[in-house]
Amino acid sequence: MDHNVQLCGVLQGVQFTVEDEFTTVKVVILKEALERHFGASGQPQDWIRAYEAHQAFIDEAALKVHRLQPIWPVVVLRGHEPQLQMPLSERFKVMRTAAVLSK
Can you give the residue ranges of every domain in the chain?
6-101
Residue 22, pLDDT > 70, answer yes
How large is the C-alpha radius of gyration of the chain? 13
Give Cα 83 distance to the centre of its chain.
11
Residue 98, pLDDT > 60, answer no
β-pair type (6-7, 13-20): antiparallel
Name the DSSP class of 79: S
What is the pLDDT confidence band of residue 14, given thresholds at 50, 70 and 90?
very high
Dist. CA 75–CA 90, nearest whole Å: 23
Just give the CATH number of 6-101. Answer: 3.30.160
Q: Residue 85 phi/psi, 5° resolution?
A: -80, 115
Strand order in the sheet with 74-77: 6-7, 13-20, 23-30, 74-77
pLDDT tens, 24-57?
Answer: 999 999 999 999 989 999 999 999 999 999 999 9
